[in-house]
């Protein structure tokens, strides 16, 4: 995903000159080194100083430039979140925060670098639009839309390679969940790296005769309430899947909508209120129950409770 992000930035940089990229000494990690190489004049190195970087970006935005702030998600969402809130969101500046290294994908670096709270944090701040694409194609399609939106955006770019789900014909629409697979028994709403796992789980369940509707909820805020309520009434139960703590992220957001619209039983797949550990991302996903198997189990459980 980071390579896709870096390449997409370069491609976009060739056709539009209205944005600059800010980096906190992690260009190799976030994929922005491609952009630095091609557009050194539009690349602003801020050093390991994320708090200053957020507020500098706010200042730059007043000159009509669109700053894209890049760093690891854990630092964007926690270390410099107060700067993102007070320097960017509150004054409504046109700044995009593009963060990599999500969830347990960071792997061996361990819990200090695993961003498992970023959705909960950004979701609670007014004026932020939050986008979490599921694959390189969607990321590439989302980027221009994110830059075109006049206002603060938090964009999750990811780190690990993820399988390509969409073809180049994908039409990305901000604020809309998209149905990847139709089904009648249960709805699985997933984001980011969990989308391809949800698809795999749905295929497995299909072979058992369970029909799953799968939704990619790449915009977490504003949340597509209609598709959630509609799915709840069609399938009668629901599972969410996120590479994030189950507290306050996608699962929490969906639960809020269900409670206010069509209350149905739901299960949340995600990190269960704990700090993980170092390890290979795939092994971590297994240990902390983020794999297709875990989605399958959640579906079976929610179906048992379906009225």
Partner 1 sequence: MDNDEKDRLERLAAELRKYIIIMNCYAGSGHPGGALSAADIVTYLFHKEINFSPENYQDANRDRFILSKGHSCMVLYAALAQRGFFSTEEFKKLRRIDGMLQGHPDRLKTPGVEFNSGSLGQGFSFALGVALGGKRAGLNFRVYVMLGDGELNEGQVWEGFMFGTHYQLDNLVAIIDYNKFQSDDLNSNVTALEPLHSKLASFGWHVIGINGHDFREIEYAFDRVRKTKGKPSVIVANTVKGKGISFMENNPKWHGSLAPLGEERVRALQECGCENIGGPGELRSR
Closest CB to partner 1 among residues 86, 164: 86
Shortest CB 25 distance to partner 1, Å: 12
Closest by CA to 60, choosing from 158, 73, 52, is 52
Shortest CB 18 distance to partner 1, Å: 12
302 neighbors 239 (Cβ within 8 angstroms): yes
44 binds partner 1 (CB under 8 A): yes
142 binds partner 1 (CB under 8 A): no
**CA quadruple 48, 49, 51, 53: dihedral positive or negative?**
negative
* Tokens, residue 133: 């694409």
- Selected from 30, 70, 87, 132, the binder of partner 1 by CB under 8 A is 87
Beta strands in the chain (DSSP E): 19-23, 43-45, 66-72, 96-100, 129-131, 153-156, 178-181, 186-190, 212-216, 219-221, 237-245, 265-271
CA dihedral 147, 140, 77, 100 (to 10 degrees): -140
- Selected from 16, 17, 18, 62, the binder of partner 1 by CB under 8 A is 62
Shortest CB 26 distance to partner 1, Å: 16
Shortest CB 66 distance to partner 1, Å: 11
124 binds partner 1 (CB under 8 A): no
From the list 54-62, 211-219, 246-254, 277-285, the region that binds partner 1 by CB under 8 A is 54-62
Strands 153-156 and 237-245 come out as unpaired
From the list 56-64, 180-188, 269-277, 284-292, the region that binds partner 1 by CB under 8 A is 56-64
**Scanning residues 20 to 39, which ones bind partner 1 (CB under 8 A)?**
20
SS (H, E, C) 65-84: CEEEEEEEHHHHHHHCHHHH
Of the candidates 3, 50, 117, 200, the residue annotated as catalytic is: 50
49 binds partner 1 (CB under 8 A): yes
50 neighbors 76 (Cβ within 8 angstroms): yes
* Tokens, residue 90: 């509150």
**50 assigned to active site:** yes
CB atoms within 10 A of CB 307: 6
52 binds partner 1 (CB under 8 A): yes
163 binds partner 1 (CB under 8 A): no
- Selected from 16, 92, 184, 301, the binder of partner 1 by CB under 8 A is 92
**Which residue reads 């854990």 in tokens?**
74
Contacts with partner 1, residue ranges (CB under 8 A):
20, 44, 46-47, 49, 51-52, 54-65, 67, 82-83, 86-87, 90-92
Known catalytic residues are 50
């Amino acid at each position: 995903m980071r390579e896709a992000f870096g390449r997409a930035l370069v491609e976009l940089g060739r056709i539009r000159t209205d944005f600059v990229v800010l980096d906190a000494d992690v260009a190799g990690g976030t994929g922005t080194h491609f952009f630095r190489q091609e557009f050194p004049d539009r690349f602003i190195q801020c050093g390991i100083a994320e708090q200053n970087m957020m507020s500098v970006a706010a200042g730059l935005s007043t000159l009509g430039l669109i700053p894209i702030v890049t760093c690891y998600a854990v630092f964007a969402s926690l270390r410099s979140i107060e700067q993102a809130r007070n320097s960017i969101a509150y004054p409504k500046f046109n700044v995009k925060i593009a963060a990599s290294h999500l969830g347990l994908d960071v792997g061996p670096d361990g819990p200090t670098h695993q961003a498992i709270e970023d959705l909960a944090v950004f979701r609670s701040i007014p004026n932020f639009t939050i986008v979490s694409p599921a694959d390189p194609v969607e990321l590439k399609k989302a980027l221009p839309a994110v830059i075109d939106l006049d206002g603060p955006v938090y964009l999750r770019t990811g780190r690990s390679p993820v399988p390509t789900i969409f073809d180049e014909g994908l039409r990305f629409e901000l604020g809309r969940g998209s149905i990847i697979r139709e089904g009648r028994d249960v709805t699985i709403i997933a984001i980011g790296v969990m989308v391809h796992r949800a698809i795999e789980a749905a295929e497995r369940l299909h072979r058992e005769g369970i029909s799953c509707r799968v939704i990619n909820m790449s915009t977490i805020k504003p949340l597509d309430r209609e598709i959630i309520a509609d799915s709840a009434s069609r399938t009668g139960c629901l599972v969410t899947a996120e590479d994030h703590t189950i507290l306050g992220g996608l699962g929490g957001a969906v639960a809020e909508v269900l409670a206010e619209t069509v209350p149905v039983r739901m299960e949340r797949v995600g990190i269960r209120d704990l700090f993980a550990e170092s390890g290979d991302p795939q092994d971590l996903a297994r240990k902390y129950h983020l794999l297709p198997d875990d989605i399958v189990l959640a579906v079976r459980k929610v179906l048992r409770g379906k009225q």
